[in-house]
Structure 1
């Protein structure tokens, strides 16, 4: 029987009265996305700033949307601290859900735009 993890990265397998602990494999959901080609584009600080501008939202509002701390967003946008892959994923997915399309570097450079049907109110 498998139960929900009691702590990050650990699954408790319960058999009779004996408890075994096994660490999760080092492969994260993010790594699986990369392997499958689902997540292929990194997000730059300039793209995040531009996306916020298009949506007319503050850093605090992005923090609330993405569940990423305000301090992390400020540091990332300033360039004073690189963001982890999980932070980049959270920011990208949150902004996409709000109506942003990320444009990969296809000769014209990285960019963002509002998705079709997204009204900037």
Structure 2
């Protein structure tokens, strides 16, 4: 089980937006948005939930459920040690803009 708050916290730990989360999980952006808009535990298609949880775990997120070994109780998320930022399919880094090209654009 995963809550909407855990999903938002996981995205924050991974420093990714909803679009990148959709790419990572192979779900649609509206599906991610609906999941995050849920009240409490995310309800939905079992396959979608499994894709979400699996992708987050592969990206280094550990979901903490009530009763899980931790220094405190309750739900939460944490980033596993030594995990690289997840790679997104087809994302391109913007080219750095030089001062000279900005001056030419004026």
Common fold: TM-score over 0.5: yes
Q: Which has the higher helix share?
A: 2
Q: Secondary structure at the match of 2:27?
A: coil
- RMSD between superposed Cα atoms in Å: 1.9
Q: Which residue of 2 aligns with 1:88?
A: 49
* Mapped partners of 2:84, 2:25: distance in 1: 20
Structure 2: any 5+ residue segments left out of the alignment?
Answer: 86-106
Q: Which residue of 1 aligns with 2:7?
A: 48
Partner of 1:112: 77
Q: Which of 13, 21, 27 is residue 62 of structure 1 equivalent to?
A: 21
Q: Matched residues in 2 for 1:53 and 1:94: separation?
A: 15
- In the alignment, the residues of structure 2 paired with residue 104 and residue 79 of structure 1 have an alpha-carbon distance, to the nearest angstrom, of 17
Partners in 2 of 1:103 and 1:46 — Cα distance? 12
TM-score by length of 2: 0.67
Q: Aligned partners of 2:18 and 2:78: how far apart in 1?
A: 18
Q: Secondary structure at the match of 2:34?
A: helix
Larger relative contact order (CA 8 Å, sep ≥ 6): 2
Aligned residues: 79
Q: Give me the TM-score of the superposition, normalised by structure 1.
A: 0.59
